């Protein structure tokens, strides 16, 4: 594709349609009226390369790579401030989640984004036993960049951990024994099945 | 007043030796005094929290919550589901709403539950409520005041409502920008509420406290700073994520910003338990990393 | 005329009896005021009070009545005695309500009341009961000029109210622009889809209406006369002319489309595939329910870009500075033409501010639901090379230079009013000097509008209605829509301001009601708005007139002509009774029966002037009865207070203020004179258009006189006061009083 033809595809509906079909609540994107209240309401607003208002416009402008490869959606803290303030009642939080998830599944999300990586660790953690193993979660997070960096981070966070241990709010034995649902295998197959159905619906199978 | 029964969804952080275990201790103590019986949903699972979206996607998340709803409907039939954790409440309620709105999603969910061999029937007809809703709506402020044995007079509380107990669903009759129920609860048990607490509904960073610690700690710093600025002696919150984030990073924030924060962060249920004559231990105050000394003093009287 | 017999009635209600020594007021009315009958009543506006007055008029031959009670704006129905000359002394809003109820204030409050009684007595002595305009016309037919939606709707409304209508349309058929639309923006729930225009039905209604006579292919070649007695020549293309008499006129001459050929940068003219909104309507009409094809080669349009604000809301030379209001909704509708036929057509709408009045917000949402893409973007250029259209724009949200290729580009150009010949081009230029925005609007002159007269008025002021701003015919559109500066002639639809069909329909109804009001008032010899119902009319003492023409030139309504000897000829039916002529007259020969240089001048002189040693200054406030006086009344109702040293005289319009009142006031010892009139200038709120402006101008000339008299210029000040200035007006008075007190007393006191 030449640069020129790439330009021509801008401001067409192709990417919008893709988002509508595959992204959670994506059919709302076209309803944005560009007031910018969401961007101004986001607690992490200044850290977004493209605040939600822009993301919506970029989708409408057909900027597929820029949107799906953006770090922006990964800045969402799920505070829902944008949702309650949006005069058009767009479920902005969910759309941001949906876009991040979609980008992640397509392998277009930024590889090193810490929230993307934490989210995966979190999911794997709960998917295993059905309930969160908080110690495993923290350790996996700290050691996700390798052993050396992990020790450093874990040491930095040691104060927090000690406090939690002392107040009996962290289980030191959870590494070896963590209580989850009664039948983890059944739970795992439940999630697997759910993913299969969803992939089928969204044409992401295979 | 007759005993009230609810189907209880405690959530992961509430478990023994988990981050909100002390919240749970105080919730049980509080409910006993209010004659509320909590029937735990058998074999409940994680709600997937908000951060579950990235890897989990849409349907798996809803399936997880649907499983809990179905289990509740099966074992605690006819009882409202009550959650104490903002994320658990939000996750379950969101799923219930979404399945209600989309026949496709409901059918898919039922299909998945069935094919995975779960012997449950999902009706999705159960109201899903937060513990504060139970207190405000079913017990009422007068009812909250009834078991009082002690007043929390003399303590100034910054009521930190946070995000997910407040948005997007919130509590009926309250505004998203300035909910007042927490302040009213504080005042009901004799405490002084800082009614114009500036950071009342500001985000603490949620799960991003793990992945984006610097950005989150900046939020947390402002939340604590505003409480100090307005004369608060402790913060009170209905959310375990808020509680943990605002409490446990204070040393790190002090180190980074040169502040001298030492602000206790308590749960509403701890306040009520103490007001009802419970001991510090019954109120889970021994689980606070920054000890709520003034509250402990009242508890020990 | 029968013998004059004056009676004064002093009310003791509303606290007047408690706060004032009404007995001494009564004595004053008898001795100084020369009232034959003086009565007090505890509750004058009740049945018994009113009956008392009625009996005196009927049985005792009272010809002149003074009511000393509340403001002249209160209880107008109870005290509406139209068979006598009627004056009011404002003791409630003018005195007790603006003064504190304290012992210290008692003396000055009583003095205020006494002066108002003196003033009312002085005024009534120079008043006659107005007899009504003798030269009235009673033709009640209504002429509507323009057969578009506005004109047809006005005609139907007037007809439904029982009036005969003549409808004149320049072209060969009724319907105007609306008839050329494929569909219209919806006016019904759920406001989500384009809707049939409804024009055919409206045309049928007009054609079947026996009260309406339609003249097609015809124009107005002459208009003369006045409300109730207009005479018009209606000339047909065929060359025949008929002369008709009508009572009032509605001008609904509509708009022309801005000439898109003035936008070469947007590709108009260079490519047949760049069209304006009217062009798109033609394409859509041709396509019907099928796909719209592009003009150049008949290809089905797969992508279309709408460019909003093309040549409008722009300060570039030759562009329109204003927003035409309908174009965003129109483009939304046109985008739906494509989407409703084929949802896969890419429709991109580039706007700078999407403005969707009425229920347009629902319509906008519906378009979003249908997949129309809306982008905040500033279009720089439409490239047309090799037959491919490329729209280059700045994406204002993404802050990015962008471009979009399209099969068709639609330019949303604006409405240019068909307002006839601009009769005051030179004057407009003077007024607009030095202001950037308005300088741009002058460039409208460069916009091609058919420069034919619409009405061909046989008036000394020129053949058409004056243009106000940007070439539209209108007077102040919030305070008095449809009114023009020519009595009995009303405008409606886009000739008055840019608008869409829904607004034009409403507008037409309003103008029809105004036209009806005008013929009814005229037939009774009464004034039209805003002194609707006034029976007084201007006269002049010919022997004193110097034929200076100031009255004829300064009349804002063109109601005064000149005879061969250059004496003024009043056209009473056109007169709005503002008195601007009276204010203009240097020899003071113009008067109304109930309002004259004397009725006000004698009030000014009637005030008792304390001498210098008493330290009681006196200030005269001449307040416009339309805005400033009501503002002061409302301030009184709210319990706001002001200085006890002011005496307020209501005037019909600041334009009626004759400078003799001001110089007389200063000569008789007043320490200062305040004039309170309406807002002037481009955003004027003066009910008589130019009155306030004239007064400001005249008072600026008075400064020289003051200096000659060795008086400080601050002793005469002119203010703009709006009816909403309830808090401000009393404060203005007190600030002024304080300022003049600092200067010191008027040295002419006691001379």
Q: Which domains does chain A have, with CATH numbers?
A: 3-106 (1.10.1060.10), 114-201 (no CATH)
How far away is chain A from the Cα of C300, in angstroms, using its nearest Cα?
A: 17
CA distance C748 to C664: 11
| Same domain, residue pair C311 and C294 | yes
| pLDDT tens sequence across C681-732 | 877 888 888 899 999 999 988 888 888 888 899 999 999 999 999 999 999 9
Please tell me which of the candidates C303, C369, C373 has its beta carbon nearest to residue A60: C373
Whether chain B has a CB inside 8 Å of the CB on A167: the answer is yes
Of the candidates C93, C376, B51, which has an alpha carbon nearest to the alpha carbon of residue A100? B51
CA distance C500 to C373: 23
Whether chain B has a CB inside 8 Å of the CB on A163: the answer is yes
Of the candidates B26, B21, B9, which has an alpha carbon nearest to the alpha carbon of residue A174? B21
pLDDT computed for residue C751 by the predictor: 66
- What share of chain C in percent tops pLDDT 90? 83
Query: Would you say residue C425 has pLDDT above 80?
Result: no
Q: Do chains C and A touch (3 or more CB pairs under 8 A)?
A: yes
Q: How many CB atoms lie within 10 A of CB A146?
A: 8
| Same domain, residue pair C87 and C192 | no
Quick one: pLDDT band at residue C426, thresholds 50, 70, 90? very low
| Same domain, residue pair C271 and C183 | no
Query: Would you say residue C654 has pLDDT above 60?
Result: yes
Contact C143, C168 (CB under 8 A): yes
Cβ neighbors of B107 (< 8 A, separation 6 or more) are none
Please tell me which of the candidates C368, C404, C405 has its beta carbon nearest to residue A31: C368
Cβ neighbors of B242 (< 8 A, separation 6 or more) are B86, B160, B162, B163, B204, B265
Mean pLDDT of C734-744: 95
The full length of chain A comes to 206
| Same domain, residue pair C212 and C358 | no
Query: Which option is the CATH number for B4-130: 2.60.40.10, 3.50.50.60, 3.30.420.40, 1.20.1050.140?
Result: 1.20.1050.140
Cβ neighbors of B98 (< 8 A, separation 6 or more) are B62, B105
Q: Do B205 and A75 touch (CB under 8 A)?
A: no
pLDDT computed for residue C429 by the predictor: 46
Chains near A (3 or more Cβ pairs under 8 Å): B, C
Q: Do A10 and C404 touch (CB under 8 A)?
A: yes
Compare C182 and C475 and report the one with higher pLDDT.
C182
HSE-CB at A106 with a 13 A cutoff on CA atoms is 20
- Phi/psi for C588 (5° steps) reads 55, 45
Mean pLDDT of C25-52: 96
- By C-alpha distance, the chain C residue nearest A29 is C368
CA distance B99 to B113: 14
Quick one: pLDDT band at residue C415, thresholds 50, 70, 90? very high
Mean pLDDT of C266-283: 97
CA distance A15 to A13: 6
Of C102, C129, C156, which marks where a domain is finished? C129
| Same domain, residue pair C270 and C298 | yes
Please tell me which of the candidates B46, B49, B287 has its beta carbon nearest to residue A167: B287
Please tell me which of the candidates B19, B112, B163 has its beta carbon nearest to residue A134: B19
Q: Do C369 and A30 touch (CB under 8 A)?
A: yes
Whether chain A has a CB inside 8 Å of the CB on C426: the answer is no
> Would you call A188 exposed, middle or buried from its count of C-beta atoms within 10 A (0-12, 13-18, 19+)?
middle
How far away is chain A from the Cα of C362, in angstroms, using its nearest Cα?
A: 11
Please tell me which of the candidates C344, C365, C402 has its beta carbon nearest to residue A10: C402
Quick one: pLDDT band at residue C435, thresholds 50, 70, 90? very low
Q: Which residues pair with C271 in a beta bridge?
A: C268
CA distance C476 to C678: 12
How far away is chain A from the Cα of B16, in angstroms, using its nearest Cα?
A: 8
Q: Do B205 and A77 touch (CB under 8 A)?
A: yes
Contact B49, B206 (CB under 8 A): no
* CATH code assigned to B148-300: 3.40.50.11810
Residue C586 falls inside a structural domain = no
| Same domain, residue pair C12 and C79 | yes
Q: Do C373 and A13 touch (CB under 8 A)?
A: yes
Residue C5 falls inside a structural domain = yes
Give C346's contacts in chain A (Cβ within 8 Å). 11-13
Give B17's contacts in chain A (Cβ within 8 Å). 168-171, 174
| Cβ under 8 Å to B: A residues 49-108 | 74-75, 77-81, 83-85, 91, 93, 97-98, 100-101, 104-105
Q: 3-state DSSP call for residue C348?
A: strand
- What share of chain B in percent tops pLDDT 70? 100
pLDDT computed for residue C515 by the predictor: 97
| Same domain, residue pair C85 and C156 | no
The DSSP secondary structure of C527-544, one letter per residue, reads: --TTSTT-----EE-GGG
Please report the sign of the dihedral spanned by the C-alpha atoms of residue B85, residue B91, residue B94, residue B95. negative
Q: Do C404 and A16 touch (CB under 8 A)?
A: no
Q: Do A189 and B52 touch (CB under 8 A)?
A: no
Residue listed under structure tokens 């949303």: C412
Contact B79, A151 (CB under 8 A): no
Domain segments of chain B as ranges:
4-130, 148-300
Mean pLDDT of C25-48: 95
Residue C442 falls inside a structural domain = yes
The DSSP secondary structure of A45-75, one letter per residue, reads: GGG-SS-HHHHHHHHHTT-HHHHHT-SGGGG
| Same domain, residue pair C234 and C331 | no
Mean pLDDT of chain C: 92
Whichever domain contains C324, its CATH number is: 3.50.50.60
Compare C636 and A147 and report the one with higher pLDDT.
C636
| pLDDT tens sequence across C151-181 | 999 999 999 999 999 999 999 999 999 999 9
- By C-alpha distance, the chain A residue nearest B51 is A119
Q: In the structure encoding, which two tokens stand for residue C7, read together?
A: 């009676």
pLDDT computed for residue C709 by the predictor: 80
Whether chain A has a CB inside 8 Å of the CB on B243: the answer is no
pLDDT computed for residue C105 by the predictor: 96
Contact C146, C176 (CB under 8 A): yes
Contact B167, A79 (CB under 8 A): yes
pLDDT computed for residue C2 by the predictor: 62
Whether chain A has a CB inside 8 Å of the CB on B250: the answer is no
CA distance C57 to C34: 17
Residue C665 falls inside a structural domain = no
Contact C471, C449 (CB under 8 A): yes
CA distance B274 to B293: 12
Q: In the structure encoding, which two tokens stand for residue C498, read together?
A: 């840019």
Q: Which residues pair with C676 in a beta bridge?
A: C623, C719
Please tell me which of the candidates C354, C369, C373 has its beta carbon nearest to residue A11: C373
Q: Do B207 and A118 touch (CB under 8 A)?
A: yes
Whether chain A has a CB inside 8 Å of the CB on C398: the answer is yes
Q: Of A194-203, B135-144, B172-181, C437-446, give the lowest mean pLDDT range.
A: C437-446
Contact C118, C168 (CB under 8 A): no
Residue C462 falls inside a structural domain = yes
In the β-sheet with C165-168, what is the strand arrangement from edge to edge? C212-215, C165-168, C142-145, C248-251, C489-491
Quick one: pLDDT band at residue A89, thresholds 50, 70, 90? very high
Of the candidates C379, C376, C279, C277, which has an alpha carbon nearest to the alpha carbon of residue C333? C277
Residue C684 falls inside a structural domain = no
Give A53's contacts in chain C (Cβ within 8 Å). 397
Give A44's contacts in chain B (Cβ within 8 Å). 203, 205, 208, 212, 215
Return per-residue pLDDT of chain B as tens, 301 residues: 579 999 999 999 998 889 999 999 999 999 999 999 999 999 999 999 989 999 999 999 999 999 999 999 999 999 999 999 999 999 999 999 999 999 999 999 999 999 877 778 899 999 999 999 999 999 999 999 999 999 999 999 999 999 999 999 999 999 999 999 999 999 999 999 999 999 999 999 999 999 999 999 999 999 999 999 999 999 999 999 999 999 999 999 999 999 999 999 999 999 999 999 999 999 999 999 999 999 999 999 8
Please report the sign of the dihedral spanned by the C-alpha atoms of residue B65, residue B71, residue B77, residue B80. negative
Q: Do A61 and C346 touch (CB under 8 A)?
A: no
How far away is chain C from the Cα of A112, in angstroms, using its nearest Cα?
A: 25
Q: How many CB atoms lie within 10 A of CB C376?
A: 19
Please tell me which of the candidates A80, A160, A190 has its beta carbon nearest to residue B63: A190
| Same domain, residue pair C114 and C34 | yes
Cβ neighbors of C21 (< 8 A, separation 6 or more) are C110
The interface predicted TM-score of the complex, written ipTM, equals: 0.94
HSE-CB at C573 with a 13 A cutoff on CA atoms is 25
CA distance B17 to B10: 14
- Phi/psi for C750 (5° steps) reads 85, -5
The domain containing residue C394 runs over which residues? 260-415
Give A93's contacts in chain B (Cβ within 8 Å). 168
Of the candidates C221, C27, C35, C216, which has an alpha carbon nearest to the alpha carbon of residue C114? C27
Q: Do A164 and B289 touch (CB under 8 A)?
A: yes
Please tell me which of the candidates B116, B167, B288 has its beta carbon nearest to residue A167: B288
Please tell me which of the candidates B18, B51, B202 has its beta carbon nearest to residue A134: B18
pLDDT computed for residue C685 by the predictor: 84
Q: What angle do CA A80, A84, A90 make, to 5 degrees?
A: 90
Task: Give the count of domains, chain C.
Answer: 3
| Same domain, residue pair C237 and C302 | no
Compute and round to an integer the Cα radius of gyration of chain C. Answer: 31
Contact A171, A134 (CB under 8 A): yes
The DSSP secondary structure of C642-697, one letter per residue, reads: --TTEEEEEES-GGG--HHHHHHHHHTT-SEEEEEE---STT---TTTTHHHHHHH
How far away is chain A from the Cα of C390, in angstroms, using its nearest Cα?
A: 9
Mean pLDDT of A27-55: 96
Residue C727 falls inside a structural domain = no
Whether chain A has a CB inside 8 Å of the CB on B175: the answer is no
| pLDDT tens sequence across C81-96 | 989 999 999 999 999 9
Please tell me which of the candidates B17, B43, B104 has its beta carbon nearest to residue A168: B17
Of C129, C153, C170, which marks where a domain is finished? C129
Residue C631 falls inside a structural domain = no
Q: Which of B14, B45, B68 to mutate to probe the A interface, most A CBs <10 Å?
A: B45
Q: Do A118 and B112 touch (CB under 8 A)?
A: no
Q: Which of C348, C353, C391, C397 to mutate to probe the A interface, most A CBs <10 Å?
A: C397
Quick one: pLDDT band at residue C477, thresholds 50, 70, 90? low
Please tell me which of the candidates B13, B22, B167 has its beta carbon nearest to residue A81: B167
Of C483, C507, C523, which marks where a domain is finished? C523
How far away is chain C from the Cα of A36, in angstroms, using its nearest Cα?
A: 9
| Same domain, residue pair C249 and C266 | no
Quote the longest CA-to-CA distance of chain C.
Answer: 97
Contact B18, A134 (CB under 8 A): yes
Contact A125, B222 (CB under 8 A): no
Mean pLDDT of C350-373: 95
Whether chain A has a CB inside 8 Å of the CB on C392: the answer is no
CA distance C2 to C243: 44
Q: Do A30 and C373 touch (CB under 8 A)?
A: yes
Q: Which of A2, A4, A8, A11 to mutate to probe the C interface, most C CBs <10 Å?
A: A11
Quote the longest CA-to-CA distance of chain A.
Answer: 63
- What share of chain C in percent tops pLDDT 70? 95
CA torsion, points C457, C459, C462, C467, in degrees to nearest 10? -70
pLDDT computed for residue C70 by the predictor: 97
Query: Would you say residue A4 has pLDDT above 60?
Result: no
Of the candidates C263, C398, C327, which has an alpha carbon nearest to the alpha carbon of residue A58? C398
């Amino acid at each position: 594709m030449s640069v020129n033809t790439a330009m021509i595809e801008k401001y067409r509906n192709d990417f919008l349609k893709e988002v509508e079909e595959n992204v959670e609540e994506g059919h709302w994107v076209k309803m944005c009226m560009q007031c910018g209240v969401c961007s101004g309401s986001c607690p992490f607003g200044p850290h977004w390369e493209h605040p939600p208002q822009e993301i919506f416009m970029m989708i409408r402008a057909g900027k597929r790579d820029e949107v799906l490869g953006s770090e922006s959606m990964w800045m969402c803290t799920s505070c829902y401030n944008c949702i309650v303030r949006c005069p058009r009642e767009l479920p902005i939080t969910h759309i941001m989640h949906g876009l991040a998830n979609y980008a992640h599944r397509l392998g277009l999300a930024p590889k090193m984004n810490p929230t993307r990586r934490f989210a995966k660790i979190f999911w794997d953690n709960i998917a295993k036993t059905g309930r969160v193993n908080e110690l495993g979660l923290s350790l996996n997070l700290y050691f996700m960049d390798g052993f050396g960096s992990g020790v450093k981070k874990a040491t930095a966070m040691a104060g927090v951990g000690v406090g939690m241990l002392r107040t009996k709010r962290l289980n030191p034995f959870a590494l070896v024994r963590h209580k989850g649902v009664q039948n983890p295998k059944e739970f795992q197959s439940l999630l697997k099945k759910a993913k299969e159905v969803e992939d089928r619906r969204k044409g992401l199978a295979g | 007043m007759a005993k009230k029964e609810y189907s209880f969804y405690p959530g992961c952080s509430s478990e023994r030796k988990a981050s909100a275990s002390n919240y749970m201790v105080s919730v049980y103590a509080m409910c006993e005094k209010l004659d509320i019986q909590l029937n735990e949903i058998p074999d409940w699972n994680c709600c997937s929290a908000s951060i579950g979206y990235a890897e989990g996607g849409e349907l798996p998340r809803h399936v997880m919550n649907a499983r809990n709803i179905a289990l509740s409907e099966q074992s605690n039939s006819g009882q409202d589901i009550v959650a104490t954790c903002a994320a658990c409440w939000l996750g379950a309620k969101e799923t219930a709403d979404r399945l209600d709105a989309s026949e496709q999603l409901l059918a898919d969910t039922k299909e998945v539950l069935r094919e995975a061999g779960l012997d449950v029937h999902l009706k999705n007809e159960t109201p899903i409520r937060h513990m504060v809703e139970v207190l405000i709506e079913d017990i009422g402020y007068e009812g909250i005041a009834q078991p009082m044995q002690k007043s929390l007079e003399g303590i100034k509380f910054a009521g930190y409502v946070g995000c997910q107990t407040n948005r997007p669903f919130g509590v009926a009759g309250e505004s998203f920008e300035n909910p007042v129920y927490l302040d009213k609860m504080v005042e009901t048990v004799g405490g002084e509420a800082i009614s114009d607490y500036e950071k009342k509904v500001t985000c603490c960073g949620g799960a991003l406290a793990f992945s984006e610690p610097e950005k989150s700690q900046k939020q947390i710093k402002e939340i604590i700073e505003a409480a100090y600025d307005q004369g608060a002696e402790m913060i009170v919150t209905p959310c375990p994520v808020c509680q943990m984030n605002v409490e446990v990073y204070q040393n790190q924030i002090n180190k980074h910003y040169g502040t001298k924060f030492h602000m206790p962060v308590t749960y509403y249920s701890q306040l009520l338990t103490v007001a009802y004559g419970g001991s510090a231990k019954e109120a889970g105050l021994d689980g606070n990393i920054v000890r709520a000394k003034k509250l402990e003093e009242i508890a020990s009287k | 005329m029968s013998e004059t017999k004056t009676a004064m009635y002093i009310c003791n209600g509303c606290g007047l009896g408690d706060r004032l020594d009404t007995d001494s007021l009564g004595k004053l009315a008898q001795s100084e005021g020369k009232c034959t009958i003086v009565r007090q009543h505890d509750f004058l506006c009740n049945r018994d009070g009113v009956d008392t007055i009625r009996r005196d008029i009927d049985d005792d031959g009272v010809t002149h009545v003074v009511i000393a009670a509340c403001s002249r704006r209160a209880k107008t129905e109870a005290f509406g005695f139209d068979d006598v000359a009627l004056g009011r002394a404002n003791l409630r809003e003018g005195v007790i309500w603006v003064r504190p109820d304290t012992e210290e204030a008692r003396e000055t409050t009583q003095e205020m009341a006494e002066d108002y009684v003196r003033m009312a007595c002085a005024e009534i002595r120079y008043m006659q009961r107005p007899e009504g305009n003798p030269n009235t016309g009673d033709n009640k037919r209504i002429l509507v000029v323009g057969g578009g939606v506005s004109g047809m709707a006005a005609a139907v409304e007037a007809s439904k109210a029982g009036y005969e209508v003549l409808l004149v349309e320049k072209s060969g058929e009724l319907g105007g622009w609306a008839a050329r639309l494929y569909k219209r923006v919806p006016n019904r729930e759920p406001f989500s889809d384009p809707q049939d225009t409804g024009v055919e039905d409206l045309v049928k209604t007009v054609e079947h209406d026996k009260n309406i006579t339609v003249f097609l292919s015809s124009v107005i070649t002459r208009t003369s006369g006045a409300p109730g007695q207009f005479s018009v020549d209606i000339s047909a293309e065929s060359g025949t002319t008929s002369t008709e008499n009508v009572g009032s006129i509605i001008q609904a001459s509509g708009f022309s489309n801005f000439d898109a050929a003035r936008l070469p940068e947007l590709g108009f003219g260079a490519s047949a595939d760049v069209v304006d909104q009217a062009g798109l309507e033609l394409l859509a009409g041709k396509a019907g329910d099928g796909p719209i094809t592009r003009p150049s080669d008949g290809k089905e349009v797969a992508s279309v870009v709408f460019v909003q604000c093309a040549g409008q809301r722009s300060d570039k030379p030759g562009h329109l500075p204003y927003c035409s209001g309908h174009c965003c909704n129109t483009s939304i509708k046109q985008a739906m033409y494509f989407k409703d036929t084929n949802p896969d057509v890419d429709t991109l709408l580039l706007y700078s501010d999407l403005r969707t009045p009425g229920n347009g917000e629902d319509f906008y949402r519906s378009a979003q639901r249908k997949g129309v893409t809306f982008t905040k973007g500033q279009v720089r250029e439409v490239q047309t090379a090799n037959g491919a259209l490329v729209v280059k724009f700045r994406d204002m949200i993404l802050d990015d230079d962008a471009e979009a290729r399209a099969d068709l580009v639609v330019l949303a150009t604006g409405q240019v009013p068909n307002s006839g010949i601009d009769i005051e081009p030179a004057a407009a230029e003077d007024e607009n000097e030095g202001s950037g925005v308005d300088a741009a609007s002058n460039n409208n002159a460069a916009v091609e509008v058919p420069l034919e007269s619409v009405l061909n008025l046989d008036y000394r002021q020129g053949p058409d209605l004056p243009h106000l701003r940007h070439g539209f015919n209108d007077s102040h559109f919030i305070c008095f829509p449809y009114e023009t500066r020519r009595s009995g002639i009303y405008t409606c639809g886009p000739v008055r301001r840019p608008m869409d069909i829904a607004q034009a329909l409403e507008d037409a109804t309003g103008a029809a009601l105004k036209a009806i009001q005008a013929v009814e008032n005229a037939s009774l010899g009464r004034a039209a708005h805003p002194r609707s119902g006034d029976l007084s009319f201007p006269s002049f003492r010919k022997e004193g007139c110097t034929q200076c023409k100031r009255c004829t030139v300064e009349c804002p309504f063109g109601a005064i002509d000149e005879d061969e000897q250059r004496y003024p000829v009043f056209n009473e039916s056109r007169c709005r009774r503002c008195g601007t002529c009276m204010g203009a007259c240097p020899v003071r020969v113009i008067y109304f029966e109930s309002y004259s240089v004397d009725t006000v001048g004698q009030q000014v002189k009637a005030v008792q002037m304390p001498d210098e040693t008493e330290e009681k200054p006196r200030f005269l406030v001449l307040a416009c009865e339309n805005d400033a006086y009501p503002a002061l009344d409302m301030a009184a109702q709210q319990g706001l207070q002001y200085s006890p040293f002011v005496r307020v005289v209501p005037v019909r319009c600041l334009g009626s203020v004759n400078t003799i009142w001001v110089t007389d006031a200063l000569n008789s010892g007043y320490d200062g004179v305040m004039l309170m009139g309406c807002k002037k200038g481009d955003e004027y709120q003066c009910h008589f258009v130019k009155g306030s402006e004239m007064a400001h101008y005249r008072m600026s000339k008075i400064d020289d006189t003051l200096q000659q008299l060795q008086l400080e210029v601050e002793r005469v000040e002119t203010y703009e006061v709006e009816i909403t200035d309830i808090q401000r007006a009393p404060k203005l008075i007190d600030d002024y009083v304080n300022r003049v007190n600092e200067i010191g007393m008027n040295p002419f006191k006691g001379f």
